[in-house]
A = this chain, B = another copy of it.
């Protein structure tokens, strides 16, 4: 591994810790004021979870690398986190997930109806926050990001069990599913700090590569993590028919593997699957997938290498290393 001891997220976020607190306060205020129902705990449960808040930190650090984050940037960071929360609520609903980060999901606690509608409410609430920035380009990019997120999840659904899909299909899907929001988070921090277009492009590119790396690591961990760490069975993606990078690389290396051939023929039994997950996990595909991931985190750091070296810059570099360090 590149980094044996990664910095903690708290230390990475340190240059913007004050602004991160403001984001948390805004979410708490929203939970208080939503007045959605007599069941006051609903919005609080949705907003005050134990998420890592990497996306709003990205907005704030992108601004901080260039100066002091303005109020608009903090509002944008709040919007980015709200959008992420809304999208998780819908994902958990459609996937019938019972828990996330050890807490009950909204859908398991309040039912699918409330979860779908609360997700809609929070999507719109995130858009309202973006409107407060008054920047029409940022608002448009944000709306496009919501479209990307939904399309990414839809494509994942429609491409399940499609063994003919390519690495390009996978890349396009994880861009929609994950990297688009990372990219928007970083880009908007720069745009709202009135950065020059080359600086905006650099931070947007950083966000893109970090997001791609983040999703690839997530897909690797689905094979290498333990059930207790993942909160779901090992090989869960493949058992749902979701074909990710490790599987695609394994297929490329082992086109005649018996498990793959059976799966292609629609023979998808539990024992075939368990064997296939084991084979993929112990194959070179895992290291190859991690190497793709490392190439993204290196590209992320490279994108911003010419920007001023300061605490925020060092944090963005550490954040890229953090993603890799957590792949094992």
A residues within 8 Å of B by Cβ? 36-39, 87, 90, 93-95, 112-114, 116-121, 123-125, 127-128, 131, 134, 136, 139-140, 143-144, 146-147, 149-151, 153-155, 157-158
Contact = CB atoms under 8 A, between A and B. Distances in A.
Given A112-B112, A127-B127, A140-B131, A117 B36 contact: no
Given A128-B140, A147-B125, A39 B158 contact: yes
Given A113-B157, A155-B37, A150 B131 contact: no
A231 to B, nearest CB: 20
A143 B120 contact: no
A153 B113 CA distance: 9
Contact of A112 (B87, B94, B131): B94
A281 B144 CA distance: 47
Nearest to A158: B37
B143 A128 contact: yes
B112 A90 contact: no
A156 to B, nearest CB: 9
A120 B88 CA distance: 12
B37 A150 contact: no
Contacts of A121: 147, 150-151, 154
Nearest to A36: B154
A116 B94 contact: yes
Given A37-B155, A121-B154, A127-B127, 18 more contacts: A36-B151, A36-B158, A37-B158, A39-B158, A90-B117, A94-B116, A113-B157, A117-B150, A117-B153, A121-B151, A123-B124, A123-B146, A124-B150, A127-B143, A128-B143, A131-B140, A134-B136, A136-B139
